[in-house]
Chain A
Amino acid sequence: MLADLKSALASPRQSLQQVLNFALVLSTAFMLWKSLSVISNSPSPIVVVLSGSMEPAFQRGDLLFLWNRDAGTEVGEIVVYNVKGKDIPIVHRVVRKHVTVPVRDESGSTTPSSPKLLTKGDNNVADDTELYAKGQSYLDQEDLIGSVRGYIPAVGYVTIMLSEHPWMKTAMLGIMGVMVILQRE
């Protein structure tokens, strides 16, 4: 390791370039993620399926691509939403859409109210009324993170394993570190 340090100090420009390359890779990945977020108008354009409530269509670990630029949501679309106050994304299908009477305020102008949506998982018997926040019976368009339009099976299982077994993160970093050292030699 000391030999490596010596070679790094001998050519500081080269090692700085390596650091810069690494930073460029990281920032490019971040930029790609954020631009995907902007294109799809969704805060989280790629999600991993966490539960089995949409089987047999989606299994745990599948990767979903979301789109959030459509003005309205149709019945039968598969949407991802966060329950108010909680940070767990839920992937279910819209089973009901109710158009409500627009509210007329004192000035006489009507504010168009977004339709109320009810969701249900394909593998669940009951709809999601019990999952929503207390007092909330329906979802609004703004509760949705996006609508599922694309699907890749099983690719996301790595993230589930990393979040459920945090020791794997350290193991992966350790393996990567060992590989870097072995490559140098």
Chain B
Amino acid sequence: MAHLVRDELSSYSRVGIIAFLSLIPVPTSTSQPSAKITARDIQVVKGRPHYYSPKREEYAQIRFDLDADLSPLVTWNTKQLFVYVTASYPSTATRAEQSESVIWDMIIPATATPWSWTNLKSTYFPDKKTIRANKNKNKQGASKGKSSTTALSKPGRINLKNQKPKYQVTDPTGLMSERSNVTLQVSWNVQPWVGALVWDKGYLGSRVGSWKPGRVGTSKSFDLPALKGSKPEIVKETDGPKTPRAGEGRPITEI
């Protein structure tokens, strides 16, 4: 009975089935990826977008700690893992919509297998750098049987302390100081060898279900400080400058 079914399936349909299977996003292994992020040193400085730009904007530099274990995401179909940290804050309209900026990103490529293109190329067509490095290694007698691979044995583990951000956050309005309710979030994007791309926020397109907020680490809300170097004596008056009543000696404080 089984071999009858096999004869029915032509080679085209077999290839089609395999191709279809590769398109299905592979579910992760039993353990879920986890991450924890906290903001550390925060500074708001004044700067220019580039050297010749006349406008001056405020930029927030947010340092952070990141502990993440994304190794469950690395499967046979993972070509690279793109991890990125974003800072989101409510826009000036004080609505629920958030403005979001990437402050740091990292690409974790899949470990090269022994027969991969890069490994074959370095074995049979090594460039001068590796030849020299290997010669020095042999001279020092440091060969210990199996050569130590530079690739991580378990890619996906990230451990950063007070990491300097790659990018600084700014707003189209140019104002960043003293914004409140800023949160950091770490997100990931799996790039497959073939098939559908997966983000931490969902599979495939059309927001199957809904574009849920990242299940992976969100930091606590924090506020951005005042502009670096701003005078601390400036008193903040919340209800505008008041004209002093007759007889009062109080001066008008400047906001």
Contact = CB atoms under 8 A, between A and B. Distances in A.
Contacts of A75: 86, 100-102, 187
Contact of B206 (A69, A97, A129): A69
Nearest to B109: A56
A74 B211 CA distance: 9
Contact of A98 (B23, B86, B91): B91
Contacts of A148: 197
Contacts of B222: none
Residue among A75, A100, A138, A148 having the largest count of chain B Cβ atoms under 10 Å:
A75
A153 B79 CA distance: 11
Contacts of B211: 70, 74
A69 B205 contact: yes
Contacts of B197: 78, 148-151
Interface residues of B, number: 39
Interface in A75-104: 75-78, 93, 95-102
B86 to A, nearest CB: 5
Nearest to A72: B211
Nearest to A152: B194
A57 interface: yes
Contacts of A153: 193-194
Contacts of B179: none
A98 B172 contact: yes
Residue among B84, B98, B102, B171 having the largest count of chain A Cβ atoms under 10 Å:
B102
B205 A151 contact: no
A95 B195 CA distance: 23
Contacts of A77: 199
B218 to A, nearest CB: 14
Classify chain A's interface size. Answer: 20 to 34
Given A75-B102, A100-B172, A70 B107 contact: no
B109 A99 contact: no
B242 to A, nearest CB: 28
A116 B91 CA distance: 12
A78 B105 CA distance: 14
A56 B199 contact: no
B23 A96 contact: no
Contacts of B99: 96-99, 115
A138 B172 contact: yes
Contacts of B101: 75, 95-97
B102 A95 contact: yes
A102 B93 contact: yes
Contacts of A70: 205-207, 211
B93 A99 contact: yes
Contacts of B97: 99, 115
Interface string B199-233: 10100111100010000000000000000000000
A100 B91 contact: yes
Contacts of B187: 75-76
Contacts of A98: 91, 99, 171-172
A124 B79 CA distance: 19
Contacts of B201: 74
A133 B252 CA distance: 47
Contacts of B23: 150
Nearest to A75: B100
Interface string B37-67: 0000000000001000000000000000000
28 contacts: A56-B107, A56-B109, A57-B82, A67-B205, A70-B205, A75-B101, A76-B187, A76-B199, A96-B102, A97-B99, A97-B101, A98-B91, A98-B171, A98-B172, A99-B95, A99-B97, A100-B91, A100-B172, A101-B91, A115-B99, A122-B105, A122-B107, A129-B49, A149-B197, A150-B23, A151-B191, A151-B195, A151-B196
Interface of A: 56-57, 67, 69-70, 74-78, 93, 95-102, 115-116, 122, 129, 137-138, 147-153
- A-B pairs, top 9 by smallest CB distance, nearest first, are A67-B205, A99-B97, A99-B91, A149-B205, A95-B102, A75-B100, A57-B191, A98-B99, A96-B101
